[in-house]
Amino acid sequence: MNRTWHVRNITDAAQARIGTARLAAASGVSTVERTRLAAALTAQLRQCLTKGGEWRVGVVVPPAPGGDFRVEVTSAQRRPDDPRPPWQASVPCAEGFGLSGAEPAADDPDALAEALFGADEDAALLLERLDEQEALVAFHREELHQTNQGVLALHAELDAAGRAQRELFDAEQKARQEAENARGRLTFLADASAALTASLNHEAIVGLLPALLVPRYAHSVDVWLFDDVDAALRSGPHPAAAVLAARRGRPQYAADHPGRLPGVDDQPPSALDPGRPLLCIPLLTRWAPQGVLTLWAPDERWDADDTVMLIELTRRASIALENARRFEHNRDIAETLQRALLTDLPTTPGLSLAARYLPATRGLNIGGDWYDAFRQPDGSLITVVGDVTGHGLHAAVMMSQLRTALRAYAVDGSSPGQLLTRLHLFLHRLRLDLYATAVIARFHPHEPTLTWAAAGHPPPVLRTPDGQVRTLDDKPGAMLGIPLRQEIADHTVPLPPGSTLALYTDGLVERRAHGIDPGIQRLADELGGFGPAELDQNLEVSADRLLHPLLEDSEHDDDVCLLLCHVHSGAVSAR
C-alpha cells in the first residue's frame, strides 16, 4: 500500500506528518520507532518548507507482515538525472497489522489540531516509558552503587587479609630463618666442641681454632696463651682490648661504635686495625685466665646470638686446653717413670737379649706392661714379661712393685713357678683390685734346657735351630691376684744351641677384629721365617723386623712388649 502527500505549506506538512504517523501505527511500528520516524520526518519537512517549492511525501507500507515501513521525501520538480538522492527512512513493522485506523487527516484547523494532539500521544507514551525507565535506571544505579560499596568493602577486607597474611608469612619466614640460624649455630658448636675435645694436644687445639672460625665467624683469629713464650714472641703485640679481657676476665668488643652485645664490654677501636671490629674473649679456667682468644670481625658483624655462641665455644676450648695440658703433664710424668722402670738388659755369654716396648697409641702412653732380665745366685738367667691390668700411673706403680718383688723373691733361687706363686699371693694380699699376667723363663747355665711358667699370660713361642716353631702352651696358672689359691707349675723343654724364645704381651698379637690366636700364629710364622745366621748376627735388627709386620696398622689400643732370647750356636761350651 502506498500513500503520497504534496507539501506546499505548513498545513500540508502537518497533514503528511499526521498521516505518516497513523499509517505507521496501523502498520504495527513500535512506539519508539514510530516516534523516532516522526521526529526525523518533521525535521526533514521543516528543511523542505525552508527551501520552498512543492515536495512529495511518499509512504510504502509492506504488503505482508514483517516487512519495512518506508518513507521518502523528494522534490516535486526533481529531474531524473538529479544526482542528489531523495530523503528516505525505514522502520520494521510488526507481524500482524491492519490499516483500518489510518484515515487521512482533515483540512479544517480543529480537526488538524485534534490530529496533531493524537499524533503526539506516541511522544507522551514514550516519555512516560522513559520516566519509568529512568526510575528503573535510578533504582539499578542505587543498587549498583550499594553493590559497588559492598565490593569495595570486600576488596578492603581482602586487601587487609592479604596484608595480614603477608605479614604472617614474613614473620613465619623470619622465625624459620632464625630457627635455621640457631640450628646452624648449635650444629657448629657441637661439631666444633667434638673436634676440640677429640685432641689431647694443646698445640693442635690452638691450631684448630682458626680453622673452625675462619671465615664464617671471623676474618682472622689470634690465640694468646700467657705461658707460651714462643707463641707470644711470634704473634707480636696484642690489642688493648685483649689485655683488658685478660685483666678483667670478661669479653671485650673494640669498634668505632658500641656493639651492645650481651655480656661484653664496649671499647674504642683497636689501634692495630681501627677499621675492623674485634672481639676478645678470655680463655678462663677454674682459677684464672690462661689466655685470650681474639677474633677480627668478618664482612658481617656479629649479632647477639653469634656472640653468645662464640663465648660458649671459647669456654669449651678453654676446658679442652686445660684438659690437654693436664694430660700432657701426666704423660710426661708417666713417660719419665716408664723410662726409669725399663732398665738395660744384662750381657750374658752365649745368649743374646733384645727387648722392645711400645706404649699404646692412645691415652697416657703408659701401662702395666714390663720386661726384665737378671741373674740368680746360681748363675741362671731369669727373663720375665708381665702385664698389669689397666693403664696410667696406677698400673705403672703396681708394675714397679711387682718387678721389685720378683727380684726380691728370686734371690733364694726359686723356680719360675714358685716365683709366680709368690707374686700371686703378694698381689692378692694387697687387695688393690688390680690383676696381672706374667711369664717367666729361666736359662740354666751349662744346660741346654729351659724352665718356664706362665700365669694367665700368652704362651711363649720357641723356635728351634731347624726353623720349627713351637708354642709352649702347657697348662698355665690363672691370673695373678684373683681370689683363688693356686700353685703354679714349672715346665721344662730342651733348648739346643741356635734356639730363639719369644716372650710378649697380648698387645702384640691381639686385635679386636680377629682375637688372639691368629696373632700368635702370625708371630710363630714370622719367627719361623728367620734364618739361623740372621738371629746369630744381630738380634736387635731381627726384633725390629719381627715387629714390623705384626704392627702394620700402627694403631694399637694396648701396650706392646717383646723380649727375644737367642741361644748362640755352640753356646753349651761357652756357658
Q: Does domain 2-119 correspond to CATH entry 3.30.1450?
A: no
Nearest-10 Cα torsion for 129, 135, 138, 139: -120
Q: Quickly list H helices, 72-120.
A: 109-119
Task: Report the CATH number of the 199-336 domain.
Answer: 3.30.450.40
Alpha-carbon separation of residue 521 from 68, 462, 476, 495, 550 (angstroms): 126, 12, 19, 21, 11
- The mean predicted confidence, pLDDT, of the chain is 85
Which pLDDT belongs to residue 463?
A: 94
How high is the pLDDT of residue 289? 84
- pLDDT confidence of 318, banded at 50, 70, 90? very high
Q: Check residue 363 and give its pLDDT.
A: 55
**Strands 491-494 and 367-375, how do they pair?**
unpaired
Alpha-carbon distance values, 530 to 359, 498, 499, 526, 567 (Å): 26, 12, 11, 7, 14
- Over the stretch 74-110, which tens digit does the pLDDT of each residue have? 988 887 777 888 999 998 887 555 554 455 554 566 5
Residue 313 binned pLDDT confidence (cut-offs 50, 70, 90)? very high
The residues near 115 (Cβ < 8 Å, ≥ 6 apart) are 14, 18, 105, 106
**Out of 98-102, 112-116, 425-429, 460-464, which region has the weakest mean confidence (pLDDT)?**
98-102
Q: Does pLDDT of 183 surpass 70?
A: yes
Nearest to 222 by CA among 207, 202, 240: 207
Per-residue pLDDT tens digits for 190-249: 999 999 988 888 889 999 999 999 988 999 999 999 887 555 545 668 899 999 999 999
Look-up of cell digits 520494521:
92
Q: Quick one: which H or E segment has residue 266? A: strand 265-267
Residue with cell 700365669: 455
Domain boundaries, the chain: 2-119, 199-336, 342-574
In sequence order, what are the residues at sequence separation of 6 or more whose Cβ sits closer than 8 angstroms to the Cβ of residue 74?
55, 56, 58, 86, 87
Highest mean pLDDT range out of 78-92, 316-330, 413-427? 413-427
**Is the confidence at residue 341, as pLDDT, over 90?**
no
Instruction: Find how far residue 165's CA is from the centre of its chain.
Output: 30
Q: What is the pLDDT of residue 101?
A: 47
Residues 185-195: tens digit of each pLDDT: 899 999 999 99
Residue 132 pLDDT level (bands cut at 50, 70, 90): confident
Cβ–Cβ under 8 Å, residues 238 and 226: no
User: In the CATH hierarchy, which fold is given to the domain comprising 342-574?
Assistant: Phosphatase 2c; domain 1 (3.60.40)
- CA dist 467 and 465 (Å) reads 5
Identify the pLDDT of residue 15.
87
Interval 290-297 mean pLDDT:
92
Task: Label residue 112 by pLDDT band (50, 70, 90).
Answer: low
**Is the pLDDT assigned to residue 12 strictly greater than 90?**
no
Closest to 523 in 3D by CA, of 538, 496, 504: 504
pLDDT at 49 over 70: yes
Residues 392-406: tens digit of each pLDDT: 677 778 888 889 999
State pLDDT tens for residues 167-177: 998 998 888 88
* pLDDT range class, residue 575, cuts 50, 70, 90: very low
- 60-64, 312-316, 355-359, 399-403: which is most confident: 312-316
CA gap 15, 18 in Å, rounded: 5
Does the pLDDT of residue 473 top 60, yes or no?
yes
SS3 label, residue 296: strand
pLDDT band at 574 (very low <50, low <70, confident <90, very high): very low
Q: Where are the alpha helices (DSSP H) in 286-392?
A: 304-341
pLDDT digits over 51-68, tens only?
888 999 999 988 777 788
Report the distance separating Cα 53 and Cα 63, nearest Å.
32
Q: d(Cα 567, Cα 525) in Å, to the nearest integer?
A: 19
Q: How far apart are CA 511 and CA 551, in angstroms?
A: 10
Higher pLDDT, 78 or 568: 568
| 364 Ramachandran zone, left/alpha/beta (phi>0; psi -120 to 50) | alpha
Per DSSP, the three-state class of 30 is coil
Task: Please state the rounded mean pLDDT for residues 414-428.
Answer: 93
The count of other CB atoms within 10 Å of the CB of residue 299 is: 7
The per-type count for the chain, helices as H runs and strands as E runs, is 15, 19
